[in-house]
Amino acid sequence: MPPMDRLLLKNRAAIPFDDLPKISYQALGDIAVGCLCAALRPVALFGVPEERHAESVRIVALFADDAQGTLAVTSVSAQRGATVPSLTPSIPAFHLFERQLWEEFGIVPEGHPWLKPVRYPHDGHPPRRIEEGYRYFAMKGEESHEVAVGPVHAGVIEPGHFRFLCDGERVNHLEIQLGYQHRGVERLFREGPLAAKSTLAESVSGDAAVAHATAYAGLVEALGDTVIPRRASVIRAIGLELERAGIHLGDLSALCNDIGYLPGTQLFAVMRTDIINTSLVLCGSRFGRGLLTPGGVNYDIDEKKKERIIATVRRIRDNAGLLAASIFDNQSVLARFEKTGSVDTATARAVGLVGPAGRASGLTCDIRLTHPTDAYADHPFMKTILQNGEGKAAVSGDVYARAFVRHQEIQDSLRYILELLERLDAARDGIIAPVAPPRPDMIAFSLTEGWRGETLHAAVTGGDGGTRRYYIKDASFHNWFGLALAVRDNGVSDFPLCNKSFNLSYCGFDL
Amino acid sequence: MVFRLLRARWRHGSQAVPDPTTAMPDPMFRGFPDIAKEGAPSAEMIAACPGAALTVNPVAIDLGKCHLCGSCARAANSPIRLTNRHHLGQTRRDALIVTAGTSFEEYHARAEKGRDEIRRLFGRSLKLRSVSAAGCNACEMELNATTNANFDMLRYGIDIVASPRHADAVIVTGPVSANMADALEDTWNATPAPKLLVLMGACAISGGLFAASPALDRRFFKDHAPDIYIPGCPPHPLTVVNAILHYLGRENGR
Ligand code: SF4
Ligand code: SF4
């Protein structure tokens, strides 16, 4: 008999909000314990203001069972300002979720070791704004000192504040304070018709525009029970894999730059240009903007486009493979990549790492494999494990592993694009289907594997079909803390290298 | 090993755009809107415009608000066609409004050049300091791309520098959140005069699709008038380079 304390769903499912089981916060902790033995993964925990009682909040919790390909959802009723026993001390992956509940609804997780603001939301409880006087962690000792960086960084980089607590050159801890990019994204999703938010979805994190647009469109389609044409789902996947390959190429370029390996810097960068210019040919934007719309895609792939995409993808696949081979057996490169910024498997699981960063630490998380939808379900995405120096997958959790995983994923994505293009001819069912409006009083979840990892969009509709709550979790949400752990015990000057190997989103986190 | 690297290098040839002032983006690129004199945008088109850039009275698109999403141009019987003309930079806010029947040439002719002192000082060397303020990071990536091997804006003496102390101009991306307002002001104050203020992208110019959000604080622009507006979402690197070159009176690159 399935347990009554949770409901099992598939990715992209919508259910009546009233069907959510209601349990206590302690009972939620009992489910969450499953996260410790890797049976479940915490995906989301967010508050939904109750429709008729402004002071009541329904806390919705979402877990993933990656082995079964299911999602488990449950809920807890609480009052704004209430106190609940913190789950963070036993399940660290909850630390940000609970801080967010506290920041947005004033629900206090008692016993939370680190109750600090997440993103200083303008509509929090109470409303917040970043100002002077933030209480950073401090450290005392003869050699200890602090290095403060940001919010405005030296390069063309999004804003955030990093506070390194160091012993000499060695980093003891890095405190990351974000929120500078907070611009009220979730609130804007709630205003006006949900089906008209494609551009907004693409702007949640513009470097992962296709990932967020895919999660958003899948959500709208789930809420309206819309089925998109197969051809559209293939084109979406091509857009998403182009985005992945483009960013990974750019990040390999940046990683080479940070260690002063200039051939890698320049050559990977021009390959990235080639790939993102292919997105431009596909849909008019180097970032894949405008490609997706709820119901399908806005741009088809004709024979001419297909030929161009095939030619570029084949060329880059070969050139990137050749260049990667010359980098990953270069001792001076390896000396800088290996054992820099390590996160071991247990730590990665404890803090809930996702995406390539999680995989580089030995986790198996990948929504394309575990919770596939659309093209990924029709035409399973397969991973080839490229042989590295030791003849096995890179799972050492260091900069090397994160770089090698990117290289591997470039090859996989480009091969998958070629496979998908072959399937286009058989899928001649149009590129767009009419979109039914969201059904009232529903809750839906839509997960997509973006290049950074798991990207979640979730929504609760009201009685009038309007949007009561829109919730976004970018892959960066958990991974920022992974970066903070990765730099521990490393030289402070290795921070840029560690940072680039994760390349996390500030705006996707700050919303 | 080194031979493999040489082979990888050799296969790439030269990737630099030979002349960024004449290069054109792919015809698929969504740039300058051609609005026919006949016909008007429908209510559905107006409602679907994410930046509230499209108006009926008069029939116009405000490129300071337009995300060039293409939604209005894709609608049935639309009077709007987005061309791939990408030299979109302007020096006056009102010059960004494209009314029905405005040709690209007319639009482009409105862009002014910097005053003599500015052109004398910065004409051969302009250093930019970027402030990223609550956008989506795509504008930032395109700004970065202006200095890559393809677009190589450094060939004109235009570069991005790490400190406002070394900068001649501040280039802002994003709609400016309340949480970034102080940092923007501080960066501006730390930049020595004379200095230019450049706004890149619909978000920076008008708040764009975030304009209605109470999480923004755009008071900075009440006190400081921008010198160059670079529309787009994100603007193409060629749009950025050419907007700056035009302002410096070097529109043909010389
Ligand atoms: S292209 Fe511009 S004017 Fe047209 S709908 Fe999009 S944002 Fe609005
Ligand atoms: S203008 Fe477009 S690309 Fe630039 S920050 Fe705004 S949404 Fe992002």
The domains found in chain A, sorted by start residue, are 1-118 (3.30.460.80), 185-502 (1.10.645.10)
Q: What sign has the CA pseudo-torsion A40, A46, A52, A53?
A: positive
- pLDDT of A391 over the 80 cut: no
Give per-residue pLDDT as tens, A464-488.
889 999 999 999 999 999 999 999 9
Atom of ligand 1 nearest to the CA of B82: 1
Instruction: Spell out which residues of chain B touch residue A200, defining contact as CB-CB under 8 Å.
Output: 50, 209
CA atoms within 13 A on the CB side of A379: 20
Angle in degrees, CA A322, A271, A309, rounded to 5 = 100
B237 preceded by cis ω (within 30°)? no
Question: Amino acid identity of B135?
Answer: G
Q: Do A482 and A502 touch, CB atoms closer than 8 A? A: yes
Does the beta carbon of B71 sit less than 6 angstroms from any atom of ligand 1? yes
Can you point out the beta strands (E) in A81-137? Answer: 83-85, 108-110
Q: How far is the CA of B64 from the centre of ligand 1 (A)?
A: 11
Question: How much is the average pLDDT of A186-212?
Answer: 96
Number of A to B CB contacts under 8 A, please give it.
191
A24: tokens are 């206590």
Distance from the A133 Cα atom to the nearest Cα atom in chain B, whole angstroms: 14
Query: Helix, strand or coil for residue A492?
Result: helix
**Does the reported pTM lie above 0.90?**
yes
Which H/E stretch holds residue A173?
strand A170-177
Question: How much is the average pLDDT of A67-94?
Answer: 92
- pLDDT of A134 over the 90 cut: no
Q: Do B131 and B172 touch, CB atoms closer than 8 A? A: yes
Q: What is the DSSP string of A463-495?
A: TTS-EEEEEEE-THHHHHHHHHHHTTTSBGGGH
Calculate the average pLDDT of chain A. Answer: 92
Q: Does A79 touch chain B (CB under 8 A)?
A: no
Q: What's the full length of chain A, in residues?
A: 511
Choose among B149, B156, B160, B157: nearest CA to B17.
B149
Instruction: Spell out which residues of chain B touch residue A185, defining contact as CB-CB under 8 Å.
Output: 210
Distance from the B8 Cα atom to the nearest Cα atom in chain A, whole angstroms: 6
Q: Do B215 and A122 touch, CB atoms closer than 8 A? A: yes
Q: Do A455 and A473 touch, CB atoms closer than 8 A? A: yes
For A102, list phi and psi in degrees, rounded to 5.
-65, -45
- pLDDT of A393 over the 70 cut: no
Give per-residue pLDDT as tens, A439-467.
999 999 999 999 999 999 999 999 888 99
For A319, list phi and psi in degrees, rounded to 5.
-65, -40
Give per-residue pLDDT as tens, A6-56.
999 999 999 999 999 999 998 888 888 876 676 888 999 999 998 888 889
Q: Do A467 and A189 touch, CB atoms closer than 8 A? A: yes
Report the alpha-carbon distance of residue A93 to residue A36 in Å, rounded: 10
Supply the Cα-derived Rg of chain B in whole angstroms: 19
Q: How far is the CA of A264 from the centre of ligand 2 (A)?
A: 29
Query: Helix, strand or coil for residue B247?
Result: helix
Choose among A165, A160, A164: nearest CA to A177.
A160
Atom of ligand 1 nearest to the CA of B70: 1
For residue B136, which ligand has an atom nearest its CA?
2
Report the alpha-carbon distance of residue A43 to residue A475 in Å, rounded: 10
Q: Which parts of chain B sit beneath pLDDT 70?
A: 1
Q: Do B56 and B40 touch, CB atoms closer than 8 A? A: yes
Query: Helix, strand or coil for residue B186?
Result: helix
Q: How far is the CA of B69 from the centre of ligand 1 (A)?
A: 5
Cα A77 to Cα A26, A55, A82, A186, A463: the distances in Å are 12, 11, 10, 22, 19
Q: Do A216 and A201 touch, CB atoms closer than 8 A? A: yes
Q: Do B180 and A151 touch, CB atoms closer than 8 A? A: yes
Q: What sign has the CA pseudo-torsion B219, B220, B222, B223?
A: positive
For B61, list phi and psi in degrees, rounded to 5.
-120, 130
Does the beta carbon of B66 sit less than 6 angstroms from any atom of ligand 1? yes
Q: Do A244 and A367 touch, CB atoms closer than 8 A? A: no
Question: Amino acid identity of B105?
Answer: E
Ligand 2, atom 6, residue with closest C-alpha = B203
* The pLDDT value given to residue A126: 84
Looking at chain A from residue 91 to 120, which residues have their Cβ under 8 Å from any Cβ of chain B?
120
Residue at token pair 């956008």: B135
* The pLDDT value given to residue B1: 64
Choose among A170, A169, A153, A172: nearest CA to A161.
A153
Give per-residue pLDDT as tens, B187-244.
999 999 999 999 999 999 999 999 999 999 999 999 999 999 999 999 999 999 999 9
Q: How far is the CA of A298 from the centre of ligand 1 (A)?
A: 14
- pLDDT of A394 over the 90 cut: no
Q: Do B108 and B87 touch, CB atoms closer than 8 A? A: yes
Q: Do A245 and A315 touch, CB atoms closer than 8 A? A: no
A298-305 CB contacts, 8 Å cutoff, 24+ apart? A298/A431, A298/A432, A298/B70, A298/B74, A299/A235, A299/A431, A300/A231, A300/A235, A300/A431, A301/A235, A301/A238, A301/A421, A301/A424, A305/A281
Distance from the B18 Cα atom to the nearest Cα atom in chain A, whole angstroms: 14
A100: tokens are 């967010």
Q: How far is the CA of B139 from the centre of ligand 2 (A)?
A: 6
Q: Which residues contact A510 (CB under 8 A, 6 or more apart)?
A: A119, A178, A179, A180, A181, A182, A183, B134, B177, B179
Cα A247 to Cα A154, A253, A270, B221: the distances in Å are 21, 10, 12, 33
- CB contact (8 A) between residue A282 and residue B28: yes
A15: tokens are 């259910």
Question: Amino acid identity of A242?
Answer: L
Ligand 2 pocket, CB under 6 A: A 203, 206; B 67, 135-136, 138-139, 173-174, 201-203, 208, 233-234
Partners of B129 in the β-ladder: B170
Report the alpha-carbon distance of residue A419 to residue A316 in Å, rounded: 16
Of the pLDDT bands very low, low, confident and very high (cuts 50, 70, 90), residue A387 is: low
Give per-residue pLDDT as tens, A316-339.
999 999 999 889 888 899 999 989
Cα B36 to Cα A298, A332, B81, B97: the distances in Å are 22, 60, 8, 15
Q: What sign has the CA pseudo-torsion A111, A115, A121, A127?
A: positive
For A263, name the nearest residue in chain B, comparing CA atoms only: B9
Q: Which CATH number fits domain B116-247: 3.40.50.300, 3.90.700.10, 3.40.50.12280, 3.30.1360.40?
A: 3.40.50.12280
Instruction: Spell out which residues of chain B touch residue A199, defining contact as CB-CB under 8 Å.
Output: 50-51, 67, 69, 71, 209, 233
Q: Do B180 and A159 touch, CB atoms closer than 8 A? A: yes
Atom of ligand 2 nearest to the CA of B142: 3
Does the beta carbon of B51 sit less than 6 angstroms from any atom of ligand 1? yes
- pLDDT of A198 over the 50 cut: yes
Report the alpha-carbon distance of residue A233 to residue A226 in Å, rounded: 13
Antiparallel, parallel or unpaired: β B60-62 and A453-461: unpaired
Ligand 2, atom 3, residue with closest C-alpha = B234
* The pLDDT value given to residue A1: 46
Report the alpha-carbon distance of residue B82 to residue A198 in Å, rounded: 18
For B144, list phi and psi in degrees, rounded to 5.
-60, -40
Cα B166 to Cα A420, B127, B188, B195: the distances in Å are 49, 7, 12, 11
Report the alpha-carbon distance of residue A106 to residue A123 in Å, rounded: 12
A217: tokens are 């469109």
Complex ipTM above 0.90? yes
* The pLDDT value given to residue A4: 82
Query: Helix, strand or coil for residue A69?
Result: coil
Q: Do A67 and A61 touch, CB atoms closer than 8 A? A: no
A184, A284, A329 member nearest B214 (Cβ)? A184
Q: How far is the CA of A200 from the centre of ligand 2 (A)?
A: 10
Ligand 1, atom 2, residue with closest C-alpha = B66
Q: Do A397 and A362 touch, CB atoms closer than 8 A? A: yes
Give per-residue pLDDT as tens, A186-195.
999 999 999 9
- CB contact (8 A) between residue B179 and residue A152: no
* The pLDDT value given to residue A127: 86
- CB contact (8 A) between residue A507 and residue B143: no
A367: tokens are 């929504």
Query: Helix, strand or coil for residue A18?
Result: helix
For residue B75, which ligand has an atom nearest its CA?
1
- pLDDT of A358 over the 80 cut: yes
Can you point out the beta strands (E) in A54-130? Answer: 56-65, 70-79, 83-85, 108-110
Instruction: Spell out which residues of chain A touch residue B209, defining contact as CB-CB under 8 Å.
Output: 188, 199-200, 203
Q: In what order do the strands lie in the sheet with A453-461?
A: A14-16, A442-450, A453-461, A467-473
Q: Do A446 and A12 touch, CB atoms closer than 8 A? A: yes
- Name the percent of chain A lying above pLDDT 90: 77
